[in-house]
A and B are shown apart, each in its own frame.
Chain A
Amino acid sequence: VQLDFAAREVTIKLVYYGPALSGKTSNLVALHGLAGADARGRLMTLETQDDRTLFFDLLPLTFRARDGDVSLRIKLFTVPGQPIHAATRRLVLQGADGVALIADSRVGETQHNAEAFYDLKKNLQTNGLELSKMPLVIQFNKRDLPDVRSEEELGELAARGKEPVYLAIATQGVGVVETLVGLLHLTWEKLDRTHNLSQKLSIDGDSLLSNAAHQLGESAPVSAILAKRMGGTRKPRQAVR
C-alpha cells in the first residue's frame, strides 16, 4: 500500500494468483471491459506465449470517493501460473495488499488448485508475509464447463473454511466484480485497522466500496454484492432496507 495523505490517495496492490490457465487474465480482461472509462487504465499484458502470461498483467483502476476528494488507486496484477515461473510469482507478490486465488472449477484441476495455494503460501512466506493475515478471496472459475465440482460441495467446504468463495465465469464477466469487491472489502478493512484510513482521510469505507462497485457497472448495493459469497468468516450483512 502507498498512502499519500496530502494528495488524498491510497494505492493498493491486489494480486490474482492461481494455477496455469485458470482464468486470471480473463478476470482482468472482464474487469477492464466492465469498468467505466473514468476508472480504468490500459490493461498491460507483459509478453505472452500461446495465450499464457509470461510475467504479469497489470490493470490500473482508479475509484474516487463520492465527493471526488479521495482516490483509491488499485493496481491489479496477475501472476504467471506455470510452475517454472516461480521467481516471477514471488516477485509480483512483493508488497501485495490482498490476493484473489482463481481456481479452476473442473474436478480434474483440484490438485492444481491445491498446489497453487501451497505455492502462494510458500511465496508469501519468502516475502515475509503471512497467509493468515493476508486478505484472501477464492474464486471458482469456469462454472460453464462440464465436469465441474458441484456448487453444493463447494458451498459446504466454503462454509467450513475461512475465506469467502465466489463462483465465476470470467470469460462472460460473471462473478468477477463480486470477487474484486469482496477482495477490496477485506483489504480495506485490514488497511483501515492497521493505518486508520477512514479517520485520517475522513472517509467511509462502505461508500468508497459502493462507488467502486458503481464504477464497475454494478448498481446493486455493496451488501448485496458481498452477500453473493459463499462462506467467509462473518455472516453476510443484511441487505440495505
Chain B
Amino acid sequence: MSEAMSMGLLPPSPEGQAQLAIAGVDGDPLRLEELVDKNALRELTDSSSRIFGLVMRVASSSGTILAGPAAPGPILSRLGDRGARVAADVLAGVLGGEHGAGAQTVVAPTGELFRVLRLEYDRRHTGWIVLGPYAAPASIEPPAALFAFAPDLDPGLAREAWTRVPRFAPGRVDEIAAHLGTVLEVMLFSGHKALVTSQMHIASIQESYRELCEKNERLEEAYERLKELDRLKSNFLATVSHELRTPLTSIMGYGEMLAEGVAGALNDEQRDFVETIRGKSEQLLGLIMSLLDLSKLENGTMPVRVSRLSLSAVIGEAVSTILPTAMKKNVLLETEVPPDLPPVLGDSDRLRQVFINLVDNAVKFTAPEGHVRLTARLTMARPAGEPGLVLVAPLRPVIEVRVADTGIGIGEAERDRVFDAFYQIDQSSTREYGGAGLGLAIVKRLIEAHQGSIHVEENEPHGTVFVVTLPAGRPSAVPPSRGGSMPPPRGGSIPPPSRGSLPPIFG
C-alpha cells in the first residue's frame, strides 16, 4: 500500500485556521505500536501466557515482536545457545509466511505448532497475535521433523522435552486466539479513541484561540480608535473652553463697569438686569473653568502646588463658603474636625475646591430640615485583601473625611458612575437638580492627584456619604525642633501640629 497513489484531497483552508487530522481517518493507517502502550502489552502477554498455559506474543504488522517472551520453549531450550538463536528465526518464519485473514496454524521446523492470528482494525491489517509453541494432544512421540532439525539432540532428552510442550486441541487454541484478538481490538479502540480525543482537544483549543485572537485584534483596533476620539474630545473641550472664556471676560468686565456706573448712573431696573447678566456670567465662567480643569486633569497638565497644609483650615473655608446657601435652604451644616489632625501634603486651592464641591452637592441634594455633617479623623488605611497584607504593615496613616447628607441618596449601581464626567443620575431634560455633571469627576481626579481616594457609602437611614481619604503627612519632614520652620499654610492660621497629640506611629 506504500506505493499506492494516495490523494488526500483536503481543500485549502483560510490562513491560520487550525487543521484537524483525525488519526485513522486522515492520513496514514493506524499502527498497533502507536495505539497501545508496549509495557501494557507485555503485561497482557505475560498474564495470558500464565492463565492459558500457552505462550502469547504480539507483533506489529511488519512482523516485529512487540511483546512476549524472548526465551525459547521447552524444545528450543534443550538446544542451548543454538536454541536461543533459532528461536528468533522460528518466530520470523512463523510471521514471515503469507497469512490471510483469520487464524492459521504454522508448523515450526522443530515440529511444534504455532497459531497466528491476523489482527485487523478498521478493516486494515494492524498486527499479529502468535500463540505457541503447542502440540496436538494425540502427539506423544516427538515428531520426525524435530530430529531432522536437530540431529544431535539426545533422543531421551528430546522425548522428555516434548512431553513438556503444552497440549492443545485446535478448537481450544482458536477460542483463546479469538478472545485475545477481542482484547487487543478493545485496547486498539480505546487507544484510538484517546488519540482522537486528544487530537480533537488540541485542534478545538487552537481554533478557539485563533478566533479569540481575531476578536482581540478587532477590539484592540476599536479601543485605539476610541482612545483617539477621547483625546480629540479633550482637546476640543480645552480649546472651546479657552475660546469661550476670552469673550466672557469682556462681557463680565463691561458688565461690572456698567454696574459701577462708569457709563452713567443706572436706574433700579437697569441695575437689576446688569446684575442678572453678571450673575449668569459668573455661573458660565464657573462651568468653563470646570471644563478646563477637567481637561487639564485628564491630560495631566493641572498644576498642583504642594505644600504642607492643615485640612481643618481647608474644610473650615469650604464650609463657610457654602454656609449661606445652607442657611437659606434651612439645611443644618455641622463639622467635626479634631484640631490635632496631622498635616496633609497638597494644594490647598484644589482641596478647598474638592470640599466646596462635596458640601455644595450635599446641600443641593438635601431637603430643607435635613442636615449635612462633615467629619474628619485620622485612621489607618485598611486595604482588605491586599496581597501580602501581613508584610506591608505598619499601615499607612490616612485622614478620612466623611461628608454625610440626609438627601435623596445614590443607588448602589450609580455609586461608581457618579464620578464619570457629564454623568447625571437623572438624565431627563426636566431633572430637578442642575449642574453639568462635572463636579464629582473633577473631585475624583483632584483627590487622585493627591494620592487619595473617594467612594460613596449609604447613609442611615437615608442619604449619601462621600468618603474621602488623603494620605496623612508626617508631622514634619525634619524632626520638629524649636528652630524647625514649616512652610506657612496658605489660607489659614493653623496651629502647628502638636507632636504629643499624635498616635505613637508618628513618633
Contacts and interface: CB of A to CB of B under 8 A. Distances in A.
B200 A55 contact: yes
User: Of B3, B17, B25, which is in contact with the most chain A CB atoms at under 10 Å from its CB?
Assistant: B25
Contacts of B200: 46, 55-56, 88, 91
A14 to B, nearest CB: 12
Interface string B1-34: 1011111111111100111101001100000000
Nearest to B189: A42
B197 interface: yes
A95 B26 contact: yes
A73 to B, nearest CB: 7
A73 B204 contact: no
A240 B475 CA distance: 107
A46 B195 CA distance: 11
Contacts of A62: 123
B123 A71 contact: yes
B462 interface: no
A2 B8 contact: yes
Interface residues on B, range: 20 to 34
Given A2-B6, A6-B1, A90-B207, A73 B11 contact: no
B123 A41 contact: yes
A118 interface: no
Interface stretch (A123-131, A150-158, A201-209): A123-131
A100 B189 CA distance: 26
Most buried by A among B9, B19, B208: B9
B3 A87 contact: no
B7 A95 contact: no
B122 interface: yes
Nearest to A39: B123
Contacts of B231: none
Give the size range of A's interface with the partner. 20 to 34
B5 A6 contact: yes
A7 B1 contact: yes
* Most chain B Cβ neighbours within 10 Å, of A46, A55, A87, A90: A87
Contacts of B14: 126-128
B192 interface: yes
B193 A94 contact: no
Interface in A183-199: none
A138 interface: no
Interface in A52-79: 55-56, 58, 60, 62, 71, 73, 75
A126 B208 CA distance: 14
Nearest to A97: B9
Contacts of A95: 9-11, 26
B30 to A, nearest CB: 11
A3 B7 contact: yes
A91 B21 CA distance: 9
Contacts of B18: 87, 91
B123 A87 contact: no
B25 A13 contact: yes
A169 B93 CA distance: 54
Contacts of B1: 4, 6-7
A56 B200 CA distance: 9
A92 interface: yes
A46 B204 contact: no
A1 interface: yes
B123 A58 contact: no
A87 B20 contact: no
A97 to B, nearest CB: 9
Nearest to B211: A87
A180 B201 CA distance: 28
Nearest to A62: B123
A44 interface: yes
Interface string B179-193: 000000000010011
A92 B20 CA distance: 8
Which of A47, A60, A71, A95 is packed against the most chain B CB atoms within 10 Å?
A95
B203 interface: yes
A6 B6 CA distance: 8
A52 to B, nearest CB: 15
A65 to B, nearest CB: 14
A55 B197 contact: yes
Given A2-B9, A58-B25, A91-B203, A46 B197 contact: yes
Given A44-B189, A46-B196, A46-B197, A91 B204 contact: yes
A56 to B, nearest CB: 7
Contact of B11 (A3, A41, A75, A128): A128
10 contacts: A2-B9, A4-B7, A6-B1, A44-B189, A46-B193, A46-B197, A58-B25, A88-B207, A90-B207, A94-B13
Given A44-B189, A62-B123, A87-B208, 15 more contacts: A2-B7, A3-B7, A4-B1, A4-B4, A6-B4, A7-B1, A55-B204, A58-B196, A60-B123, A86-B211, A90-B17, A91-B204, A94-B10, A94-B13, A128-B14
Considering the complex of A and B, which 5 residue pairs feature the smallest CB-CB distances, nearest first?
A6-B4, A87-B207, A91-B20, A95-B10, A55-B200
